């Protein structure tokens, strides 16, 4: 039962985080950030979000920028989900490079 609640909260946080990043990246032309996966700890205190950045060359720069502004992202998330969650989880962001890995595998298979 606890896992069902974790999954529901993870989906809620993924949706809201994607909306936050979508509104923030409108100002940055040529950059797109999508939240590919969110995982929530069993006590709902930590949310690990995986971000996919296009173009992938700017991935490290974007992740550093997001990690530097994690407090403002958490505040924005808190204003959006304050009626659903009692405690807003601590946010951790990592880059999701699975698409780059798939491209690399495809290139190796073509050779």
pLDDT for res 105: 85
pLDDT for res 14: 95
Q: Which two tokens stand for residue 10?
A: 């993870």
CB neighbour list of residue 40: distance below 8 Å, 6 or more residues apart: 6, 9, 10, 13, 46, 47, 48, 89
pLDDT for res 72: 94
Report the predicted TM-score, pTM, of the whole model to 2 decimal places.
Answer: 0.84
Encode the chain (111 residues) as per-residue pLDDT tens digits. 468 999 999 999 999 999 999 988 888 778 888 999 999 999 999 999 999 988 888 888 889 989 999 999 999 999 999 999 999 999 999 998 777 777 778 888 887
Beta bridge partners of 37: 50
Taking the C-alpha atoms of residue 6 and residue 73, their distance in angstroms, rounded to an integer, is 20
């Amino acid at each position: 039962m606890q896992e069902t609640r974790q999954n529901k909260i993870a989906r809620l946080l993924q949706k809201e985080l994607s909306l936050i990043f979508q509104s923030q990246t409108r100002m940055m032309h040529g950059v797109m950030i999508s939240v590919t996966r969110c995982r929530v700890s069993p006590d709902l205190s930590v949310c690990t979000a995986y971000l996919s950045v296009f173009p992938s060359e700017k991935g490290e720069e974007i992740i550093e920028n997001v990690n530097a502004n994690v407090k403002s992202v958490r505040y924005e998330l808190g204003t959006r989900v304050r009626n659903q969650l009692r405690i807003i989880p601590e946010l951790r962001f990592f880059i999701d490079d699975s698409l780059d890995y798939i491209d690399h595998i495809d290139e190796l298979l073509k050779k």
